[in-house]
Structure 1
Amino acid sequence: MDQKTIDLKQPDLYFNRLLSLLEFNRRVLAQAKDTDTPLLERLKFLCICTSNMDEFFEVRVSGVKHKAEAGSVQAESDNRSPQETLNAISAVSHELVAEQYRVLNEELIPALAEEDIRFIRRADWTDAQTEWLRRFFEDELLPVLSPLGLDPAHPFPKVLNKSLNFIVSLEGKDAFGRNSGFAIVQAPRALPRLIQLPREGEDNGPWDFVFLSSVIHAFVDQLFPGMKIKGCYQFRVTRNSDLFVDEEEVDDLLRALEGELLSRRYGEAIRLEVAANCSEDLANFLLRKFELGPDDLYQVDGPVNLNRMMAVYDLVDRPDLKYPSFTPGLPADFSHSGDIFKVLRKRQVLLHHPFQSFAPVIELVRQASLDPDVLAIKQTLYRTGPDSAIVDHLVRAARDGKEVTVIIELRARFDEAANIALANRLQEAGVHVVYGVVGHKTHAKMLLVVRREGRKLRHYVHLGTGNYHSRTARLYTDYGLFTRDKHTGEDVHRLFLQMTSLGRFSELKRLLQSPFTLREGVIQRIQREAEHALAGHEARIIVKVNSLTEPGVIQALYQASQAGVTVDLIVRGMCCLRPGVPGVSDNIQVRSIIGRFLEHTRVFYFHNRGDSDLYASSADWMERNFFRRVETAFPLLDEEARRRVLLDLECYLKDNTQAWLLQPDGSYVRLQPAEGEEPYCAQRALLALLADSA
């Protein structure tokens, strides 16, 4: 077929983005099954997969359901209608959830038991354990549990999003002669979902655990004296957690969001999880109460709140069952000089977290807050985490009279409440707080320090691919660039003016920016590679992002492949591009790296006949990042930084242990070392290269 006659918009050239996201969760679950992964890390991956699925239903599925219920016929890129997408999601999700619990029951629990980490079922409790748990129930649980009988005076209660609940089937009459047959027991969130048995018990091992649900099941009769318990079954409902605020119709975004947060806990029901042994009648009763259908029911063989098992990782002191610890490295410039401004006057510095320390980022803000020559500090904050040292330094700077401006994204999903509290704290300290731009989330990661040096004002800048969050900086891979480059500083200054004041877009010299120039700049560079290939020159594109879904960019990549450009895509999660299609994407390879750290760096490389363009960015290649967010892509101009990033990309392309290749049918195949080939893990190689081996 003539390449020019191929319609690059045809649906069969695109994967469904939500089904692609489920495939990512399948790859995470594969880590829980991998016996080469330390045992407690395998349990952690299982919990991460469960948490990912929770968010998938709360946000993604809820959105598709809303479209289907509204009668929308708007199709996904693969031409599925909302209802067809829901049907496909249900089939894959039921399969994934069943596999999660199989892995838990058949692989992880037996393997943990061999290491004296036991989850003891009710049927296996000894008399001594039963008596200890009975006392625990009476002393710690009974006073805080409030069973709710169901009758006309006690309607079905509101059930919190993702909370642990029990439906109890009863027989007999209570003190008032009532016999409704059912009651609901809600477990307060303050209660631990795992109870560790005391080590000094005669029958107990060093790490013996009992599920809270097992304890409540065992002694639930104490909540209903004189009644006969016919059955007790745990359940959990997942609700729509997306917030809707019409920014153009509200006067105060912060107050409007505060009101919306209260409703999130009781949003529309999306999914119902019940115990596997729950009767069909009771399961259907719950489905009716939550206005859900059969496809929304997930019967599970284990705790419905599986992600709460994450607590075991911290409770069990077994370093031999976890990844080896490491100390993040520190570039020689920062370790030899305590003055960051002095270092940046000499050269740019690029850090690759978590292999290298996040401490210099905090130190830059600290030194800026104390330096009498620093006049102003401006920063974007998307997620910071509790007890942020950066925020402490910003507060100190404002109280000391410096001009401090912070753009806080109040709508950072699931961090809204924390960011509202952060905004209030900063405002009380005298910081100028801005909530971003109406209609666009501020996702760019920027820090600007304005310092007087002689008769001039200098701009010191930090730009990153990840959040200013010290905890995730140890878990996510991200780049952070420190620079005193004049044009970069001016660009960042213009961006802050653009977001805090009113005015038209001003042209930038170094940076690409969403929603104005980033998508156009990316497509132009892809097309330039295609032109070079057609002219017979070497042409190559390497892109590393978390998600690739935007149709216009995908079509440009297809055209580049048709022109002969070699395209390597490293896409952690969603990918709608279909590789390996003859005449369309023969020259495109897509891989996903799943390992110890969450891959979060975004890097774009265009060969450009040897005069290459290399950008790091806060943006994925998605519609929301290109059109509905304020994002930046910043060029890496320093030769040492460029060499480093290209070396990093080659590491990921060499990986044959944690890399998964996307197939033309949408499945992923995990790479294995070929016969005689040495195993190579990119993350392990980067740890050896950048972290402090001491």
Structure 2
Amino acid sequence: MTEPAESFELTSPELYLNRELSILDFNMRVLEQATDPSHPLIERLNFLLIFSRNLDEFFEIRVAGLLQQVSFGHIRSGPDGLLPQEVLKLISEICHAAVERQYRILNDDLLPALAAENIRYLRRDEWTDKQSAWVRKYFKEQVMPVLTPIGLDPSHPFPRLVNKSLNFIVSLDGKDAFGRQMSLAVVPAPRSLPRVVRLPDNIVDGGDQHVMLSSIIHEHVSELFPGMTANGCFQFRVTRNADMTVDEDAEDLASALQGELLSRRYGAAVRLEVADNCPRHIIDYLLRQFGLSNEALYQVNGPVNLSRLLSDFDRPRLRFKPFRPRTPEVLQKSESIFEALAQGDILLHHPFESFAPVVDMLRQAARDPSVLAIKQTLYRSGPESEIVNVLADAARNGKEVTAVIELRARFDEASNIEVANKLQQAGAIVVYGIVGYKTHAKMILIVRREGRKLMRYGHLGTGNYHAGNARLYTDYGLLTANPEVCEDIHKIFQELTGMGKVLRLKQLLHAPFTLHPKLLSMIEQEISNKQAGLPARIIIKVNALTEKVLMQALMRASKAGVQVDLIIRSVCCLRPGVAGVTDNITVRSIVGRFLEHTRVFYFENGGEALVFCSSADWMDRNLYQRVETCFPILDPVHRKRIIDYGLMLYLNDNTQAWDMQPDGSWVRATPGDDSPCSAQQKLLEKFS
């Protein structure tokens, strides 16, 4: 018998899911794509490698953080009630099973399927005499000169090995040149060496044939130790804590970050991967060297670093079909972006629609003598990106260019320092944002003289200014000349570059100030509308939902009878379908060809729908510790388009969607008797 709704406390752990375990669930959905026969073969392999990279980051950041909590004696639990020690135990169980499955998929499914297409990764016992001779020459000329074997004895202690680097531990018999008895040595593989080597066409029987660097070194490792015998060679890799703590009060944030980047390479060990044929006594030796327990050991049946397995195969049939993103018709017919925006806002849905108009707007602004100033936030772009080059050109052309660069974008810190240096050298004003707050907002403002007036043009987005990501991630971008929206963008830039108080905005919401309270008020309005008999519904599409106050507000809406549909790409800490509390909440995740990245908030609002796009997920860090923007979709045509194709289409997906069950597990949707519907494929067909 179900308890009455009033008896449930919204703080009850039964209503929440653990954040770290939810991240793992998402990674399991990614791994599942490697088994999906509807994906082309090489793309299935790519999903397997994406899983590897995701798992690397999970250990570097999430597991490392949990281990730190345990070492510091923290017994704090999250909303789900699990203690760090309990979470670590569950992570170990899940990850060991997942890694075993990952290598089983590789060895039993993907490699045989690739071999059937004459794409092979040859083992040493498969090399022909010609191939063996070629490999030996390659080792002598390309590999051996850059290897540094390190014998282990009292004067040569265990070396300090870089995070995620490929290494070999070698067991030896005999004495070295100085008469010392040696038993073990370590051979680090320099990162400059390719991990996969394609054999020349003249020594293969057609197709694409490769040998692994690990096989090349293993075959010739004895040559690194003249006069000694190598009786065992085993690859291994250590994963380290890669999170960084930067002094926010440092006089020069860029210099402080550069100092921390080195420490990331040598943080505390959190995981050891080793070949599954490595003897136990050597494994125990490695675990002691890295200070790890057996739970951190992963014995793998294949390369220890799968993320670098993919080669550049020229096999279009085995890849996703190429597509050409559409450019909106109004831009095709207009002489300039500025002329087009005089007719109204332009909504772009990447990657189905081109990212080029964003770059073109900047390029036109850089060359236009009427443009006086360009302001832009940069989170992940890269020093060689076209956008950065255009901004540098604009500065050299005498425009007032201001770039707000977030140096602390994780794993892009070094790249962003390069971007900052490049723009400063070109004459741009570079600002690093606000102490204590990451600048995650995506916005551009262009100031242009038109007659006697200064006109503003803006761009707001849900994703980064990165052309590569715009081909792989789904995102929304809004080009606008709306005076109130552009004035709001101007005010946020004032906050970022100046030291004044918070300015009142007319259209935009922004974190850490108005976004969270406004979201709460809109949820409460839906509750009031439902109670008054008015239309009420909430649809939220974000990458992650972890913020407890908003989750509790959604629970209150569900208890009031409001239908709440959550489309969450990865982390969701709210448990749907709990009788009396979340039984009006659905949670689904779309995992497919493109990484879902749009953030869209829909409130039915009594029949006058409100639709917002945002750079922010519903997480504590986005709402309290970052500068974020959230912009309304004011044009009714654009608003309907987002509802129809950015929300409802995803709720109707029955091929790439996964639905969360009340116990927190995920079940993949199937068409059943209905026609198959893939949101991403439908969008490709419609827009590109």
Give yes or no for TM over 0.5.
yes
Partner of 1:6: 8
CA distance in 2, matches of 1:462, 1:668: 36
Indicate whether 1:659 and 2:657 are aligned: yes
CA distance in 1, matches of 2:7, 2:485: 43
Task: Say whether the 8 Å CA contact 2:337–2:361 is kept in structure 1.
Answer: yes
Shift in Å, 1:386 = 4.2
Partner of 1:577: 574
Q: Which runs of 5+ in 2 are unaligned?
A: none
* Between 82-91 and 107-116, the greater mean CA deviation after superposition: 82-91
Indicate whether 1:307 and 2:307 are aligned: yes
CA distance in 2, matches of 1:399, 1:194: 42
Partner of 1:33: 35
Indicate whether 1:563 and 2:565 are aligned: no
Partner SS for 1:329: coil
Q: Which amino acid aligns with 2:550?
A: V
Q: How does 1:584-595 map to 2 (within 5 A)?
A: 584-595=581-592
Aligned counterpart for 1:504 among listed residues 501, 511, 519? 501
CA distance in 2, matches of 1:640, 1:390: 29
CA distance in 2, matches of 1:72, 1:233: 37
CA shift digits 1:581-627 (9 cap, x unpaired): 00011111111000000000000000001111100000000010011
Task: Say whether the 8 Å CA contact 2:383–2:422 is kept in structure 1.
Answer: no
Q: How does 1:143-292 map to 2 (within 5 A)?
A: 143-201=145-203, 203-248=204-249, 250-292=250-292
Q: Which amino acid aligns with 2:542?
A: V
Task: Say whether the 8 Å CA contact 1:198–1:204 is kept in structure 2.
Answer: no
Partner of 2:627: 630
Which 4+ residue blocks in structure 1 deviate beyond 6 angstroms?
Answer: none
Q: Which amino acid aligns with 1:92?
A: I
Q: TM-score, normalised by structure 1?
A: 0.98
Q: Which runs of 5+ in 1 are unaligned?
A: none
CA distance in 1, matches of 2:292, 2:518: 45
CA distance in 1, matches of 2:677, 2:335: 36
Q: Which amino acid aligns with 1:511?
A: L
Q: Which amino acid aligns with 2:662?
A: P
CA distance in 2, matches of 1:386, 1:225: 45
Task: Say whether the 8 Å CA contact 2:383–2:419 is kept in structure 1.
Answer: no
CA distance in 2, matches of 1:424, 1:195: 36
Task: Say whether the 8 Å CA contact 1:247–1:253 is kept in structure 2.
Answer: yes
Q: Which amino acid aligns with 1:659?
A: A
CA distance in 2, matches of 1:681, 1:324: 15
Task: Say whether the 8 Å CA contact 2:382–2:419 is kept in structure 1.
Answer: no
Q: How does 1:468-483 map to 2 (within 5 A)?
A: 468-483=465-480
Partner of 2:675: 678
Task: Say whether the 8 Å CA contact 1:408–1:434 is kept in structure 2.
Answer: yes
* Between 104-113 and 260-269, the greater mean CA deviation after superposition: 260-269
Q: Which amino acid aligns with 1:504?
A: K
Q: Which amino acid aligns with 2:255?
A: R
Indicate whether 1:360 and 2:357 are aligned: yes
Q: Which amino acid aligns with 2:649?
A: C
CA distance in 2, matches of 1:325, 1:234: 37
Shift in Å, 1:290 = 0.7
Indicate whether 1:65 and 2:67 are aligned: yes
Shift in Å, 1:4 = 2.6
Partner of 1:134: 136
Q: Which amino acid aligns with 1:361?
A: V
Aligned counterpart for 1:445 among listed residues 442, 447, 466? 442
Q: Which amino acid aligns with 1:19?
A: L
Shift in Å, 1:527 = 1.2
Partner of 2:94: 92
CA RMSD of aligned residues (A): 0.9
Q: Which amino acid aligns with 2:571?
A: M
Q: Which amino acid aligns with 1:32?
A: A
Shift in Å, 1:140 = 1.2
Indicate whether 1:534 and 2:535 are aligned: no
Indicate whether 1:414 and 2:408 are aligned: no
Task: Say whether the 8 Å CA contact 1:529–1:565 is kept in structure 2.
Answer: yes
* Between 44-53 and 526-535, the greater mean CA deviation after superposition: 526-535
Task: Say whether the 8 Å CA contact 2:382–2:416 is kept in structure 1.
Answer: no
CA shift digits 1:650-674 (9 cap, x unpaired): 1111110000001111111101111
CA distance in 2, matches of 1:213, 1:204: 23
CA distance in 2, matches of 1:170, 1:560: 67
Task: Say whether the 8 Å CA contact 1:385–1:470 is kept in structure 2.
Answer: no
Q: Which amino acid aligns with 2:595?
A: L
CA distance in 1, matches of 2:504, 2:7: 38
Shift in Å, 1:538 = 2.1
Task: Give the share of equivalent positions with the same residue, in percent.
Answer: 56
CA distance in 2, matches of 1:395, 1:110: 49
Aligned counterpart for 1:650 among listed residues 644, 648, 651? 648
CA shift digits 1:62-110 (9 cap, x unpaired): 1111111100011122111111111111111111111110100010000
CA distance in 1, matches of 2:213, 2:422: 37
Aligned counterpart for 2:122 among listed residues 120, 123, 127? 120
Q: Which amino acid aligns with 1:673?
A: P
CA shift digits 1:115-167 (9 cap, x unpaired): 00011111222222222211111121111111000011111111011110000
Task: Say whether the 8 Å CA contact 1:274–1:299 is kept in structure 2.
Answer: yes
Q: Which amino acid aligns with 2:467?
A: S
Indicate whether 1:102 and 2:100 are aligned: no
Indicate whether 1:295 and 2:292 are aligned: no
Partner SS for 1:574: strand
Partner SS for 1:33: coil
* Between 182-191 and 83-92, the greater mean CA deviation after superposition: 83-92
CA distance in 2, matches of 1:399, 1:579: 54
Indicate whether 1:490 and 2:487 are aligned: yes
CA distance in 1, matches of 2:362, 2:495: 22
* Between 172-181 and 568-577, the greater mean CA deviation after superposition: 172-181
CA distance in 2, matches of 1:232, 1:205: 31
CA distance in 1, matches of 2:374, 2:138: 53
Task: Say whether the 8 Å CA contact 2:575–2:582 is kept in structure 1.
Answer: yes
CA distance in 1, matches of 2:119, 2:383: 31
Partner SS for 1:346: coil
Indicate whether 1:423 and 2:420 are aligned: yes
Shift in Å, 1:385 = 2.7
Task: Say whether the 8 Å CA contact 2:433–2:497 is kept in structure 1.
Answer: yes
CA distance in 2, matches of 1:243, 1:57: 14
